[in-house]
Structure 1
Amino acid sequence: MNPTDVIVVGAGPTGLMLACELAQAGVRCRLLERRTEQPNITRAFGVHARTLELLDARGLADDLVKRGVPVRQVQPVPGALLDLSALRTRYPMVLIVPQSGTELLLEERARELGVEIVRGAEVVGLRQDAERVVLELADGSTESASYVVGCDGAHSTIRNLVGIDFAGKQYETHILLADVRLAEPPHDALFAETSSEGVVLMIPFGDGWFRAIAWDRLREQVPLDVPLPMEEMRDAFRRIAGTDFGMSEQRWSTRFLSERKQARRYRAGRVFLAGDSAHVHSPLGAQGMNTGIQDAMNLGWKLVADLRGQAPAGLLDSYERERHRVGAQVLTLTDGFNRLVLGRSGFRRALRNLAMRTLLGNRLTRGFLAGRLTGLGIRYPATTRREHKWTGRRVLDLRCSGGRLYDLLREGRPVLVDTTSSGAVAQAVRDSGSTVKVARYSGPAVSGLPGAVLVRPDGYVAWAGTDGDELPAQAVAAARRWFGAPARTQPARPRT
C-alpha cells in the first residue's frame, strides 16, 4: 500500500486548491514545494466570476472578496465597455487581489484540513508502474503515492520527467511589472491607456499598493535580468499615459516575458498536470490563475471517486478531455487580446478597436465574450448525443429547500436537485441509499429547467432529466452510475 494517496507538487494557487479538494474528502495527500518560503508575489491579481463561484462552493469566496477590490466594468479598447454587473452570478465582477492573498487564504484552508505542506522538497526523478508513482527528491529521499499531480509551474519538473511536450511560442515583447505607491491614484479602478509607444495599466490592490504594468516599445528588448528601477516605469507611464500618478515607492519589480504554450497531454499514466504546468499564456485577460484553480476543481473530485472505487469508466480520462479543450480556448482568447492591444500597426489597431466596439455593441457577441472572459461560459461536451442539453453546463446558484445550491456543495459532494412538484425524485434517491446529497428546488420558475439535475462537486451538470413517470428511477440510476455506492472514507468536516 502507498502511504499517500496523492502527492501534489507545487504550492501555488492550483496545488493548494487541489490539496484542499482531496483533504476535504478524506484523501491522504502531501503537498511538496521546492521553495523554502512563501514569497510575497503578486504576479496574478484578477479573480474572475466563475472562479469566485467555485470558491463559494467551498466557503472561501466571501473571505477573498473582503481582501480585494471589485471591478464591475472592463474597457478592453477605447469606446468599448463590458459591464460585468449585468452577469447572472452572485459575483458580477473581476476581483483584484494579490496572488499572495489568494495563496494565503488557500493555505489557511489546507492546514485546517490537515494537509502536510513540505517546503524545500525539490523533485529530481520520477518513475511509475501500474500501482504507484515514486518521486526522487534532491536530498536523496523518495516519496510514493497512487497518483502525482504536477502543479509546479511553467517550467514544470513533473512535466519534463514524464516527457510531455510543451508546445507553443514566446512573445517577443518584454513586460514591465512593479508594485508601487501613488500620490495621485487614477479615478478608474482599472486604468488602461494605449498609445503608439505602448500600453500601460494601473491596478489597485486595496491596501495602498498598485500594480503598474507597461508594454513599452522603447524598452521591450531590455534583457530580463536587468533591474527595473522605478524611474523607468515612471518614464513609460509619462510617455504613454501622460502621467505617472505620483509614483513614490516601489516594493517589487521585474521584467517578464510571457509565453503561449500548452501541454500536449494532461495525463501520463498515474501522473497529471494542472495550472501553469499544463498551460501558460499572455497575462492580458487575467486567465492563468483562474484556469489553474478550475483545473484543480475538475480533477479533485475525480481522483477522490477513483480512490474510493466509485469512479465510472473513463472518469479520470475526462479530466484531460474537458480541461485541455478549455486550456486551448483560453490560449486563443489571450492571444487575441495580445494581438489587439500590442499590435504594432496603428491602422490594424484602429480596425481591431472598431471590431471590438462592434462585438461589444451586440448582445449575443457581448454575452459570448463575457462568458469566455469570466469563465461563466465554460461548458463541457456531452459524451453521447442522447444526453440532456443541460449536461456539462455550469449550474446557476439555484435556490433550494436546504439553502443556496453552492452552500449545499460546501462538503465537496454531488447534489441532486429535484424541481418537480411531487418531490418523487428526491425521495427515490434518498430511499436508494445513495451518497448524493438531495435537495428540492424552491426558487422561481426558470425557462427550460429540467425535472431533475445531478450536479457534480465542481458545479457542472453530470446528468439531467425531464418530467415523466420514469424520472425517479432514471435519477437513481444516474446517481449510482456517476457516484457509486456509499464511500469507503468519510469527508472531513467542512469549514463553516
Structure 2
Amino acid sequence: MNGTPHSVIVVGSGPTGLLLAGDLAAAGVPVTVVERRPPGISNLSRAFAVHARTLEQLDARGLGDEIDRLGRPLDRLRLFGGLTLDLTDLPSRFNHLLVLPQYEIEKALERRAVDAGVTFVHGTEVTGLVQGTDGVTLRVRRGDGARDELSAAYVVGADGMRSAVREAVGLPFPGRSVIRSVVLADVRLAERPEDLLTVNTVGDAFAFIAPFGDGYHRVIGWNRAHDVPDDAPLGLDEIKEITRLALGRDYGMHDARWMSRFHSDERQAPHYRVGRVLLAGDAAHVHTPAGGQGMNTGLQDAANLGWKLAAVATGRARESLLDTYETERHPVGRAVLRSSGGIVRMAMAKRPWTRAARAGFTGVLGRVRPARTRALGQVTGIGVRYPAPRGSHVLTGRRVPDVRLDGGTRLYEALRAGQFVLILPQGEAYKNDAVRVAHWASGRRTALLVRPDGYAAWAADALPEGGVGSSDFPREFAGYPLR
C-alpha cells in the first residue's frame, strides 16, 4: 500500500486509536488502522470507568448520550481511607462516573470509524519503520508470515504499553513496576454486592468488583504479601482468598470464564513526537489503574491530537501545530502518573506516619472545598488546563463547559463539525469559513473562541464598536489559520 501525501496510519485499535482514526477520517484524511490482533472486540478489557471529561469528548462526536445510556452511573467515587468524592458537584452534563466495560466504548468508536471510511488491516504486526522528509514507511509482518511495507504521511502509535512504534523510533519508556501479581477474573457471583462498584483495602490486600451487565463481574485483586511472577499458575481459590481479605467475603464467586495475572507499571515516554511519528495512550504513558484514569487519559490524548493532525496532514496548518500536542498532553500524563500512584500508595499505607499522612490528606479534602474540587478535576479530567501565552485572557487554555447557545443548541453539538467555534454576543457577526459562529443564549457579552477539542483558544470580555473583526481576535492559533 502506498500512502497519499496526507494519509495517516494509526497502529492499534483500542479506544485511543479508534477515536483518533474516526476524527481523522471525519476530517477528510485517509486513515488506515493496523492491528496485530484478528478482527473482533475483546471482552478482556481492564477499564470500567468512563469519566465526565471523556463523556464530554464523546458527546462532541455524537456518542455521549448513547454511551451514557449503556452504562450505570455512579455519583460517588471511593478512593482510600474512607475518602469519597461526590461527583454530583461536577460542572458537567455528565456529573457522574459511568461504569461501563471498555469494549462497549470500542464498539461505538469502531462503528463510527467504519462509517467515516477508516480502513482496517488486522493480523498485521509492526516490525520497524523508516522516516523520510515526506512520510513514514512501516515494515510489517502479516499473519501468514509475509512481510510488507505500508506508507503514509504520518504514523501514530496507539499500540499499548509494549508499543512497537515507540520501540521503532528509539524512544525509551522509563519507569518501574509499582504493583506486581495483580489478578483479574470474570466470574459469576452467588451474592450481589451492595454497591455498584465494590472496592476496599485491608492490610496487604486490595479487591475491586464491577459488573459487566451480562451476569458476570470483573474482579481485580492484589495481595502485597503474595508476590509471584506474571506466569505463575492462577486459580479461583487465590482470587477468592484475596477478595475475602479485602472485602470480608468472596460473594460466592464461581464459574470463572477468564483469569489472568499481570503487573502494573508507572512509565512515560520522554517525548510524544519524533518527526512524523506520534504516540498516544498507553504507548506514551502507563500507570496504575487507581482512579480509573488510564483509558480516559488516552481518549483525551486522541481528542487533542486528532484535529491538529488533520489540519497539518491536509495542509491547513503548519507542522509546528503538532508540537503543541506534546506541550499540552505530556504534563497531563505526568500528572496522572502522580495522582494514580498517590492513590495506590495512600490506599496501601502501612507505616504509622504514612497512615497519618493519609488521614491528614483525607481530612483536608473533606473540609476544604477548593482542595476537593481540584482532586475531582484531576481524577475526572474536568480540571485539565493547557498552557496559555503570557497576557492571555483568564479563560484561555481552560476547558469550556457545554454552554447553551442561541437557537436551543449546545456547544458540544456545535463542536461535532470538528471546527473552531466562535461564540459571540447576540447581534454580533463574523464571517469566515475557518470557524463556526454561534451566539450565547443569554445576554453575555464575552466573545469566546473554542478549539475543536473543547478548550478556549482566545477570549475577550467585551468587543469594541467595530466588532470581532476590529478586536485582537487572532489570525491563527499555533499555525492554524483563523482568518
Could you give the per-residue CA deviations for residues 370-422 of structure 1, whole angstroms, max 9, x where no partner exists? 0000000000001x21221111100010100240110111121211111x24x
- Which residue does the alignment assign to 2:11? 9
Instruction: Report whether the alignment pairs 1:86 with 2:92.
Output: no
- Which residue does the alignment assign to 2:323? 317
- Which residue does the alignment assign to 2:398? 393
- Alpha-carbon deviation of 1:187? 1.1
Distance 1:113 1:17, change over 3 A: same
For 1:151, the aligned partner's letter is A
Residue pair 1:46, 1:95 contacting (<8 A) in 2 also: yes
- Alpha-carbon deviation of 1:475? 6.2
Q: Which of 280, 290, 305 is the aligned partner of 2:286?
A: 280
Give the TM-score normalised by structure 2: 0.93
- Alpha-carbon deviation of 1:250? 1.3
- Which residue does the alignment assign to 1:62? 65
Q: Distance in 2 between matches of 1:336 and 1:358?
A: 15
- Which residue does the alignment assign to 2:461? 466
Q: Which of 174, 185, 189 is the aligned partner of 1:167?
A: 174
Q: Distance in 2 between matches of 1:468 and 1:474?
A: 8
- Alpha-carbon deviation of 1:140? 1.8
Q: Distance in 1 between matches of 2:370 and 2:482?
A: 43
For residues 369-408 of structure 1, the aligned pairs below 5 Å read 369-382=375-388, 384-402=389-407, 403-408=409-414
For 2:412, the aligned partner's letter is Y
- Alpha-carbon deviation of 1:312? 5.0
- Which residue does the alignment assign to 1:442? 441
Instruction: Report whether the alignment pairs 1:198 with 2:205.
Output: yes
Q: Distance in 2 between matches of 1:65 and 1:208?
A: 20
For residues 83-482 of structure 1, the aligned pairs below 5 Å read 83-138=86-141, 139-219=146-226, 221-311=227-317, 314-345=320-351, 348-382=354-388, 384-402=389-407, 403-418=409-424, 420-421=425-426, 423-424=427-428, 427=429, 429-430=430-431, 433-443=432-442, 451-469=446-464, 471-473=467-469, 477-478=473-474, 480=476
- Alpha-carbon deviation of 1:239? 2.5
Q: Distance in 1 between matches of 2:179 and 2:105?
A: 30
Q: Distance in 2 between matches of 1:349 and 1:485?
A: 53
For 1:396, the aligned partner's letter is P
Q: Distance in 2 between matches of 1:346 and 1:52?
A: 39
Could you give the per-residue CA deviations for residues 114-172 of structure 1, whole angstroms, max 9, x where no partner exists? 11111011111200111110011113211111100000100111001101111111114
For 1:392, the aligned partner's letter is G
Q: Which moved more, 1:126-135 or 1:36-45?
A: 36-45
- Alpha-carbon deviation of 1:65? 1.5
SS, match of residue 221 in structure 2: strand
Q: Which moved more, 1:125-134 or 1:471-480?
A: 471-480
Residue pair 1:84, 1:93 contacting (<8 A) in 2 also: yes
Q: Which moved more, 1:222-231 or 1:392-401?
A: 222-231
Q: Distance in 2 between matches of 1:323 and 1:393?
A: 14
| CA RMSD across the alignment | 1.9
- Alpha-carbon deviation of 1:346? 5.5
Unaligned stretches of 5+ residues in structure 2: none
Residue pair 1:13, 1:103 contacting (<8 A) in 2 also: yes
For 1:210, the aligned partner's letter is H
Distance 1:308 1:439, change over 3 A: same
- Which residue does the alignment assign to 1:490? none
Count of equivalent residues: 473
Could you list the runs of 4 or more consecutive aligned residues of structure 1 that deviate by over 6 angstroms after TM superposition? none
Could you give the per-residue CA deviations for residues 288-310 of structure 1, whole angstroms, max 9, x where no partner exists? 11111001110110011112322
Residue pair 2:203, 2:348 contacting (<8 A) in 1 also: no
Q: Distance in 2 between matches of 1:173 and 1:223?
A: 8
Q: Distance in 2 between matches of 1:353 and 1:230?
A: 34
Distance 1:303 1:313, change over 3 A: closer
Q: Distance in 2 between matches of 1:212 and 1:140?
A: 40
SS, match of residue 434 in structure 1: coil
Could you give the per-residue CA deviations for residues 213-247 of structure 1, whole angstroms, max 9, x where no partner exists? 1121342x122112322221111112232211121
Residue pair 1:9, 1:150 contacting (<8 A) in 2 also: yes
- Alpha-carbon deviation of 1:85? 1.1
Q: Distance in 1 between matches of 2:106 and 2:352?
A: 40
Could you give the per-residue CA deviations for residues 155-212 of structure 1, whole angstroms, max 9, x where no partner exists? 1110011011111111143211112221212111121222123111212233322221
For 1:95, the aligned partner's letter is L
Q: Which moved more, 1:8-17 or 1:200-209?
A: 200-209
Q: Distance in 1 between matches of 2:324 and 2:193?
A: 45
Q: Distance in 2 between matches of 1:286 and 1:444?
A: 39
Q: Which moved more, 1:435-444 or 1:477-486?
A: 477-486
Instruction: Report whether the alignment pairs 1:484 with 2:481.
Output: yes
Q: Distance in 2 between matches of 1:211 and 1:442?
A: 44
Residue pair 2:74, 2:96 contacting (<8 A) in 1 also: yes
For 1:473, the aligned partner's letter is G
Residue pair 1:414, 1:456 contacting (<8 A) in 2 also: yes
Residue pair 1:259, 1:280 contacting (<8 A) in 2 also: yes
For 1:8, the aligned partner's letter is V
Residue pair 2:281, 2:298 contacting (<8 A) in 1 also: yes
Q: Distance in 2 between matches of 1:68 and 1:42?
A: 15
Instruction: Report whether the alignment pairs 1:46 with 2:49.
Output: yes
Residue pair 1:379, 1:394 contacting (<8 A) in 2 also: yes
- Alpha-carbon deviation of 1:11? 0.5
